[in-house]
Amino acid sequence: MAVLLLPVSLIAEEFWASTPSEISAALQQVQPGDTITMTNGIWTNAEILFKANGAEGDSILLRAETPGRVLLNGSSRLRIAGNYLIVSGCDRIRYAEPRRPLVGRPRRQPVPLHARPQQPELFAADDDELLRPERSHAL
């Protein structure tokens, strides 16, 4: 009889979150290769700090349950800090107050987020704070 022994760290886990505090709790447990899934809906005034460290070839993923169905609303902020992190499907923000004019796009409408995986230093927060996650990107 053959027995297969795998270290627990090789089994990726999925954590589900419907509030920022549930994301924070999941971040206390995540390991490289794990996924945190944000439930569909409107996340109002959500302060999310995606701070973790994945590993090369084993990123940590923060994703929407359904791409485009997670809306960050009001004064919500999604900040990224760490290495080998991926944000996927959380690509809509509706700003509460305009801070600067945005030509051709009212700030009160959903705005898609854009990031270039080949240039992760191009994450810029709305308040001019430049976020520089190394080896992390949004899809």
pLDDT exceeds cutoff 50 at 102? no
User: Residue 124's closest CA among 138, 103, 135, 107?
Assistant: 138
Q: Looking at the domain assignment, is residue 55 inside a domain? A: yes
CB 86 within 8 A of CB 62: yes
Query: What's the pLDDT score for residue 56?
Result: 87
pTM: 0.66
Number of domains in the chain: 1
Q: Looking at the domain assignment, is residue 28 inside a domain? A: yes
Q: Looking at the domain assignment, is residue 24 inside a domain? A: yes
Q: Looking at the domain assignment, is residue 95 inside a domain? A: yes
Query: What's the pLDDT score for residue 122?
Result: 39
Q: Looking at the domain assignment, is residue 2 inside a domain? A: no
Domain with 100 in it: 12-138
pLDDT interval class at 129 (50, 70, 90)? very low
Q: Looking at the domain assignment, is residue 30 inside a domain? A: yes
Identify the residue with better confidence: 5 or 14: 14
Identify the residue with better confidence: 1 or 118: 1
Q: Looking at the domain assignment, is residue 85 inside a domain? A: yes
Q: Looking at the domain assignment, is residue 127 inside a domain? A: yes
Identify the residue with better confidence: 105 or 87: 87
